[in-house]
Structure 1
C-alpha cells in the first residue's frame, strides 16, 4: 500500500474521491507545518504533494527514504530542488494546464475593463455619482488585438477574442507559421504588432531575454490611444516607460494583473483612473484551484501505479549499459545548446546530426537535453529533458535527427538552426577518446576550444587594430586574458574571436564592449564544469 503525504490544502471533493482507492493511504498535514515536522513524517512516504509554501530542499528530499514522486499542485516549481530530486531518482510532476483558461479569462476581462473605463465607472457609483457623460469607451468589434507571446495562454486569448469580432495579429518568433491557418491569426513581427494594434496584450515568460521586453522605444511606436494589457510578469515591462507612455497619452489605459515591485507602493499610480490593476489574480479562481487538485492527485496515483506521468518536470535515469558514453555526449550537447542560445534568432526547425554508432535511445535522450536548454528562455512553464520534446511539438517546431557514418563524423555532433528553410546558425562539437570535448565550428568559422570557463565570442570586422582594441578594452576593465584565438571569413571580411578570461565581467562591461565600433556581436558565457 502506497503512502501519500500532503502538506497544503487541496480541494476536499478531489481528496474524498481519491481516498476511496484502497491502494493508497493519504496523510494531510494542516496549516503547512515547518520542514522539521515534514522531515520526520516523510521518511515513510512514497509521494509528497505540495503547493507553493512548502520548501522541498535537499534536507527534505534526503529525508524521503522511500520517496518516489513529488507533485506540485500548480505550475511553478521554484520551491522544489528539482535537480537534486533528479539526482536522488525522485520524479517531480506538476499541473501546468489547469490555470491557463483562468489567466486568459482575466486578460479578456482587463481588455473589456480598460476599453469601457470600468475603474472610473465603479469608483463613481460607489460615491452615488452616476454621471457617464465623459465615459466614452470603445467596442471590441473590428479592433485589432496584438498578442505578444503566442504560447498556450496567448492562443487561448485569441480564441476568446475571435467571437468579439476582433482582428488578431501576434508575434512569437518561436511559433510555426502553420498556426496562422489553423487559428486565423496573422503572425508577424513585433514591430508590426506594436505599430498596428489597437489593444496589446503580453503573454511571455520572464527571463533574461524578456526582462523589460517592452521599453520606451516600443511604446513610442504604438498607436496613440492604445490599450495595454499585461498578465504575464511585471518585469516584462519597463515601469518608467509605461508611466511615460501613460503621461504622454500613447497608452489610453492599462490593464495590469502584474506590476514591478517599484510600483506596488505608488498610490498615485494605483489610483490613476487610466490604470486598472489587479493583485496577480490570473490563476486565482475556484475552478483553477479545484482542477489543479484533481490533476495532481490523478498524476500522483497514476505514477505510483506504474504509469508514465502526464506532466513530468524532470527525467528518469538512463540504463547503466550506456552510462559511460552518455556522460561526455550529454556534456557536449548541453554546451552546444548554451552557446547557440546566444544567437536568439527566429527559427522553426532544428537539425541535429549524430554519429551513426550512437544508440537510438541515447540520441533521443540527447535531443531532449538540447531542447531543454535551448528552449528554456522561450517558455513560461518549466522545461526539462522529460517534457522538452512535447513543448517543441506544441510550438510546431521541426526536430530532425540524422546520423552520419565515416571517419570524418566519428564522435561529432553538429546542430543547425533554420527558419523558413534558411540556415540561421550552426555549431559543431567533438568528443575525443579520453572524453575531452571541443567546439570546432561556429557558423562559417573554424574554431578549436574547450567549452568550459569564462568565454567571450566576438564577431568583428576584419581590419587592423581590432584585436588590440578589444584586448586593451578588457585590460582596462581588469579582465585578464587566459586564451585567445581568431578565425577569419574572407568572403564576409569578418573575424570571430574566442577569448577566455580569468575574471567574469559584469553586464555593464559586456554592454560597453558591444558598443565598440566595428564589433558585430558579443556573446559572453560562464560555462561551468558540472554540465
Structure 2
C-alpha cells in the first residue's frame, strides 16, 4: 500500500466524530459482533446479499468483515467510498481483490493462525483413517457384511512420518505424531537445525524423506516452487506402501499420478481434504480403493470458527479505533509520521529480500540486514520486516511485513540487524546477506534521487538494475558473442527485452546478466538458455 495513502488514512484513526461502522456480511460466530460493539463500533450483521445488494450499501461502512462467501471485487470496492479495512476470518483471501483494495487505501487483514490446531488434527485423523481403513470398514459393516479379515490395518507406532513443510501447522502435526511414538522427518528449506532439534524431528532433503517415510503429510502453501511437489516422478521415489495425506492446498499433489500409484499398489492409501478444482464434484480419484476424501474440512471445527471470528473482530477494531495493525496483507506496521520517509527504503528492502529468496537454494541458517549511511538513521524494524516479507513471500503468498518476523522466528531463522553509520560508495545502502550450507552471499541496493530503488551489487559483482516486473537472471562465463546469442533466443521466442543489466568479476571470468522482459519467461525458454555455451544458471524472476 502506498505510504502516503496510509498516512492519510491513519490521520483519521481514533478521531471519529461518530462510531466507525462495520458490516459483517458472512455467517460468523455471534461473539464477533459483540466484540465490535464492546470496543466502540456500530456493527450490522447482514448476510446473504447479492453483489448488487452489497454494492448498494457498502458505502456506509468503514469496515467489512467476511469469510469465504462474500466476493470483494473491484466493482464492490468502487462503491466502498468510506471503507478503510477488510477483515477475512480465516486464511485465504482469494475472494478479495487485494491490488484494487491497496490502490484505494483499504487495508486487507486475515487471521492466518486461528485454525492451525484444527487443520493439524484433521491431518492426524486422516492418518488414522488410512492406517485402519476406517471409511471402508464402516461402509462394509453398515452394509451387513462383517468382513473382519478384509481390513488388516497398520500401527502408527514406530512408523516414520514425513512432513513436507514444518511451519505452524506442520510443527503441531509433528508434536502429535511424536506423542504417538512415531519417528518424524521433515523437508522444509526454512527449517533450521536448531528449530528441528527443538521440535524433536530430523531435517532431511526431499529425496530422503520420500525414500524413508511410511506416511507423508503436506503442510506448505501452493507456490511455483511447491506446485506438484508430489509429482509422478517424486511419487515414484516414495517407499512402496506409503500413505499420503494432504490438508494444505490443492495442487501440491499430482492427482492423476496419485491415481496411477494407488491403482498399481505402490501407494497403499491416500487422503485428500483439498483438490486442484473445488468444489470437487468429480475426480478420477473418487471410487479408487484405499482413497479417502473430505470436502476441505481442515478448518471446520466450532473452536476454529470461534477463534477466527474473535481474532478478525479484535484486529479490525484495533485498526479502526487506535490505528493498530495486525496480520495486514498489504500494509506494514508503521506510524503515520514514519511512513513517508520509510516508504522508499521499505520498497528497496522488500525487493532485495525477494531477490535473495528467489535465488537462494539450500537450507537457510542466517539472514542479515546491514544498513549503511543515511539508512542507519531510520527505524530499522520495518526495513528488516520488509526484507523478511520479500524473502518469505517466495514460499507463501500470505506473508506480509507484520507477520514475517513471527514466521521467521517460527522457522528458527537467525535474523541479524547491523548498522554502519559511515558512508561507503553510496550515501545510503541496504545489504542483505544469507548464510546457507553453500556459504554466505549478499546483495545490496541504494536509492537514486532518494526515492528510486536500485540493485548495485549481486553476489559480489557490481551491477546496476531496477528490480521490477518480469526478469531473467543468468550467470555465465564472460565471452564474446554471448549477448547476441541470448538476444537471438529471446527474439525468436517473441519475448521483448526492456533493459540489459550486466556485471562481471573480471574480464573472461564469471558474469551476471539481469534482463527485464515484457512477459513471463516460459520454462522451455529457460531450458534453451541453460543449454547455451558458458551458461551456468538461468532463472526467471518476478517482482
Same fold (TM over 0.5): yes
1:403 aligns with 2:403: no
SS at 1:372's partner residue?
helix
8 A Cα contact 1:239 1:263, kept in partner: no
Structure 1 partner of 2:6: none
Structure 2 partner of 1:308: 324
1:27 aligns with 2:51: no
- Higher mean alpha-carbon deviation, 355-364 vs 16-25, is at 16-25
8 A Cα contact 2:333 2:401, kept in partner: no
Q: 1:440 to 1:119 in 2, by over 3 A?
A: same
Distance, in Å, in 1 between the alignment partners of 2:81 and 2:498 is 45
Structure 2 partner of 1:358: 375
Q: 1:30 to 1:361 in 2, by over 3 A?
A: same
Structure 2 partner of 1:8: 26
Which of 162, 173, 182 is 2:178 aligned to? Answer: 162
Which of 74, 86, 92 is 2:90 aligned to? Answer: 74
Distance, in Å, in 2 between the alignment partners of 1:353 and 1:75 is 32
Distance, in Å, in 1 between the alignment partners of 2:532 and 2:300 is 48
8 A Cα contact 1:416 1:423, kept in partner: no
1:100 aligns with 2:116: yes
8 A Cα contact 2:350 2:388, kept in partner: no
Distance, in Å, in 2 between the alignment partners of 1:156 and 1:370 is 27
Q: CA-to-partner distance for each residue in 1:264-319, whole Å, 9 max, x for gaps?
A: 46565211122111111111222222222233233333444427344443426856
8 A Cα contact 1:95 1:292, kept in partner: yes
1:154 Cα deviation after fit: 0.5
1:325 Cα deviation after fit: 4.8
1:512 aligns with 2:528: yes
1:107 Cα deviation after fit: 0.5
Unaligned 5+ runs, structure 1: none
1:467 Cα deviation after fit: 4.5
Which of 48, 60, 63 is 1:47 aligned to? Answer: 63
1:140 Cα deviation after fit: 0.5
Distance, in Å, in 2 between the alignment partners of 1:20 and 1:466 is 66
TM-score scaled by length of structure 2:
0.86
Q: 1:322 to 1:118 in 2, by over 3 A?
A: closer
Q: CA-to-partner distance for each residue in 1:366-421, whole Å, 9 max, x for gaps?
A: 222222222112236x222222222222222222222221242422222111126x
Structure 1 partner of 2:442: 426
- Higher mean alpha-carbon deviation, 140-149 vs 14-23, is at 14-23
Distance, in Å, in 2 between the alignment partners of 1:498 and 1:19 is 50
1:222 Cα deviation after fit: 1.3
8 A Cα contact 1:483 1:501, kept in partner: yes
Q: CA RMSD in A?
A: 3.0
- Higher mean alpha-carbon deviation, 191-200 vs 403-412, is at 403-412
Which of 389, 395, 412 is 1:372 aligned to? Answer: 389
For these two proteins, the number of residue pairs brought into alignment is 523
Distance, in Å, in 2 between the alignment partners of 1:389 and 1:451 is 23
8 A Cα contact 1:411 1:432, kept in partner: no
TM-score scaled by length of structure 1:
0.88
Q: 1:360 to 1:111 in 2, by over 3 A?
A: farther
